[in-house]
Structure 1
Amino acid sequence: MLTVTDVRLTPVLVADPPLLNAQGLHQPYTPRLIIEVETEDGTVGAGETYGDGRYLELARPLAAKLVGRAVGDLNGLFTLADGIGVDAHRVDTAVDGGGLRGAQTADKLRLSVVSGFEVACLDALGKALGLPVHALLGGKVRDSVEYSGYLFYKYAAHPRGTAAEEDGWGPALDPDGIVAQARAFAERYGFRSFKLKGGVFPPEEEAAAIRALAAAFPGAPLRLDPNGAWSVETSVKVADGLADVLEYLEDPALGTAAMAGVAARTSVPLATNMCVTTFEEIPEAFARRAVRVVLSDHHYWGGLRRTRELAAVCRTFGVDVSMHSNTHLGISLAAMTHVAATVPGLRHACDTHYPWQSEDVLTERPRFERGRVTVGDAPGLGVEIDRDRLDALHRRWLDEDFAALRDRDDAAAMRRAKPEWVTPSVPRW
């Protein structure tokens, strides 16, 4: 088995549009971490995960420990990570203001770091063996993976003084704006289903946007995600009012108990990326029938192989699985596509932020055709890093003028637009 001889960690800042959510506003630049694992024969594998300081603090000692170990010792990554302490001041037990995934813990932070290393090792192993990553996961069961158009309420531009680039999408602050955004997504990428990030405006306004989408795209699967901003009563009212057009309602209320209360009173399937993000959270949620769709995310769950383990558990209990997304680059999209290609019974299109990202570190951007990404058979992930692009985004991260953006904080970004902004307590409505 090939031995790891070097691990390179490159934090970057990537342009992000002014997208709104329950916590606030996306920063003009968001941090990501690019991980490169090199083996003794010169093969290099790439991975990607969150780039905030708390992730970097864990990634650096893990990178040092990995040198000299077999690139295929993927189970050993977890043992290595378990031995790394987490600064208690870096763990936010409230809802994660960037990922909107529910409360953080030290273990969740470790899994998010391990995920990037696992993908890099799988990429390197696949290249060395001449096999695509999906073959290392047992083989693909589909030749392409469907993704959903991820719609956001958004400002026309970031607040003045943030030095952000123009995104070209324009504003979307009402149903007409959301429909126009969806039409642009359908024209450019061929998306056939749509998800609206909610929790921004009063529920009746967001319900009106879903109704407008249903009129503009008859029969298209539609989802709404308020990120736990609603009470149980509000969640039931909105769910029942949109029951004829919603594919599912994602995390309308915060926490398993509240989700179970909603699920007991509506026929609309509930999905989650907030109350089930670790295996330890599964028993209560499934026993209480709180969710019918778990939105997996290999960054959260510890990598691609654990994502497959999650899918197997969900199948056992008759719960559907699909895929969550946060701001990400093409390395993560390739990893998402490879693992999604191996999951049987994937009935819901996966989420992706990728169309919103105007910048990447790859020589060639992955392409969407008819809302789908083709599952490649090239060795590894089938992507290559462009050194010049990577260096440019890393130089931005190094620039002290951008130092405040090295940790994502949607509430702080919102205060640039609205100085009086305070992250709302939940339920907000």
Structure 2
Amino acid sequence: MNLAVTDVRLTPILVADPPLLNTQGVHQPYTPRLIVEVETADGTTGLGETYGDTKYLELARPFAERLIGRQVTDLNGLFGIADEVSVDSARVEDQVDVGGLRGVQTADKLRLSVVSAFEVACLDAWGKAAGLPVHALLGGKVRDTVEYSAYLFYKWADHPEGVAAERDDWGAALDPAGVVEQARRFKERYGFTSFKLKGGVFPPEEEIAAVRALAEAFPGHPLRLDPNGAWSVQTSLTVAKELGDVLEYLEDPALGTPAMAEIAAHTDVPLATNMCVTTFAEIKEAFTRDAVQVVLSDHHYWGGLRNTQHLAAVCGTFGVGVSMHSNTHLGISLAAMTHVASTVPNLHHACDSHYPWQSEDVLTRRHTFRDGRLTVSDAPGLGVELDRDRLALLHRRWLDDDGPLRDRDDAAAMRVAEPGWVTPAVPRW
């Protein structure tokens, strides 16, 4: 088999997104994703997916050009290519990633998010050519199914009037009763047995009430709360005290390792993060200060599936738990998440996934959750197939957009409903 890369296709798309609320605003009606196809000399095509904002696309294009002629097995070489691709630092350095809500974004983080899509595509092509599933290329699975958690959001019933958007059937969730009903539907539809609420939207006492309502409605089910750094240290400690008997962990209650370390020193509630530990360079301070007890990995911004395994090994060495963060993603990314999660021995928490919120996909067949789990595919590669007609339709939407939706901005989306809205300063409470 000839696994030299002969062609790379980049297809930016816009996919429907419900009006989900977070501390910075609300999801736009459509969110950008980038689909990567890597074709080899023997005709095998591998698939990858990552963020589709303009800054990622601008990096992916020169990256794709440099990949031609290389072997898809040369995964280490992907990082060398990334070093050759320039980044407009003025656009990203020390800027908060308003779409991902994952803390300060740098040029290196941006590069890794692009590398991740190409690494997954190369693994998919390699696996298809060799007749092996991706998890086999990563050393072999240690579990046949991967558990996921229901990702709950405060939510409007619809996007603002006059905004072109796809309708969904979830309805509003703006109080404890609405959150519980949303959780009930997640459990009925997908069988999830753990629940994570995206907080930082309403005053802490209201979100405490919502988690308490979940605990009452679903006794014994693991619960998580994630305000995306919206709280002060004192507020975080107050919430931890109020919910300490029901929380599996509290995710990023305050911004930055020093604040997280101070909170951790005064509560027994485990703290999780996908904001203050997002690169290997950030691990030392966080672990030596015992600032976090669970790291939520994300192969998109850690640089791929192998780096995710490396991160899990480091966490295991320090006795820190590991699970997976999720941003708005489609089925290619979910397949990649599931493959790598199946290979991580110390994955003891259900993974996050936005996938149930996404009504659109680029695959011929959607993933199906059963009892809150996905079965790990043993088919060659990722085990998914691209629906080219659907891809073309979603790409046409991207082409027809006049620009505003090509870069996710939750604050801008909120200003459609509340013209005076500005991204709240943190701590918000």
TM superposition score category, shorter chain reference:
over 0.9
Distance 1:9 1:94 in 2: 25
What's 1:112 paired with? Answer: 113
Matches within 5 A, 1:46-195: 46-91=47-92, 93-195=94-196
Deviation at 1:46, TM superposition (A): 0.2
Matched length? 428
Contact residue 204 and residue 239 of structure 2 kept, 8 A: yes
What's 1:273 paired with? Answer: 274
Distance 1:180 1:92 in 2: 41
What's 1:405 paired with? Answer: 405
**Is the partner of 2:162 in helix, strand or coil?**
coil
Q: Which amino acid aligns with 1:179?
A: V
Q: Which amino acid aligns with 1:410?
A: D
What's 2:416 paired with? Answer: 416
1:261-306: per-residue Cα shift (whole Å, max 9, x none)? Answer: 0000000000000000000000000010000000000001000000
Matches within 5 A, 1:10-409: 10-91=11-92, 93-401=94-402, 403-409=403-409
Q: Which amino acid aligns with 1:229?
A: A
Distance 1:68 1:347 in 2: 40
Distance 1:400 1:264 in 2: 48
Residues 210 and 236 (structure 1), Cα distance of their counterparts in 2 relative to 1, 3 Å cut: same
Distance 1:67 1:32 in 2: 22
1:221-253: per-residue Cα shift (whole Å, max 9, x none)? Answer: 000000000000000010011010000000000
Deviation at 1:345, TM superposition (A): 2.1
Deviation at 1:21, TM superposition (A): 0.3
Distance 2:159 2:378 in 1: 40
Deviation at 1:391, TM superposition (A): 0.2
Distance 1:331 1:347 in 2: 23
1:26-52: per-residue Cα shift (whole Å, max 9, x none)? Answer: 000000000000000100000000000
Q: Which amino acid aligns with 1:5?
A: T
Structure 2: runs of 5+ lacking an equivalent? none
Distance 2:269 2:93 in 1: 32
Q: Which amino acid aligns with 1:9?
A: L
Deviation at 1:92, TM superposition (A): 5.1
Structure 1, 180-189 or 158-167: larger mean CA deviation? 158-167
Q: Which amino acid aligns with 2:426?
A: V
Distance 1:342 1:264 in 2: 32
Q: Which amino acid aligns with 1:387?
A: R
1:207-227: per-residue Cα shift (whole Å, max 9, x none)? Answer: 100000000000000000000
**Is the partner of 1:350 in helix, strand or coil?**
coil
Distance 1:23 1:393 in 2: 26
Distance 2:331 2:211 in 1: 29
**Is the partner of 1:224 in helix, strand or coil?**
strand
**Is the partner of 1:351 in helix, strand or coil?**
coil
| Cα-Cα RMSD | 0.7
Normalized against structure 2, the TM-score is what?
A: 0.99
**Is the partner of 2:149 in helix, strand or coil?**
strand
Distance 1:315 1:113 in 2: 26
Deviation at 1:343, TM superposition (A): 0.1
Distance 2:401 2:318 in 1: 50
Q: Which amino acid aligns with 2:310?
A: E
1:154-210: per-residue Cα shift (whole Å, max 9, x none)? Answer: 101001222101111100000000000000000000000000000000001001000
Structure 1: runs of 5+ lacking an equivalent? none
Q: Which amino acid aligns with 1:399?
A: D
Distance 2:112 2:255 in 1: 22
1:34-79: per-residue Cα shift (whole Å, max 9, x none)? Answer: 0000000100000000000000010000000000001110000000
**Is the partner of 2:148 in helix, strand or coil?**
strand
Residues 370 and 114 (structure 1), Cα distance of their counterparts in 2 relative to 1, 3 Å cut: same
Q: Which amino acid aligns with 2:128?
A: K
Distance 1:49 1:163 in 2: 24
Distance 1:201 1:235 in 2: 14
**Is the partner of 1:121 in helix, strand or coil?**
helix
Deviation at 1:420, TM superposition (A): 1.1
**Is the partner of 2:38 in helix, strand or coil?**
strand
Contact residue 93 and residue 107 of structure 2 kept, 8 A: no
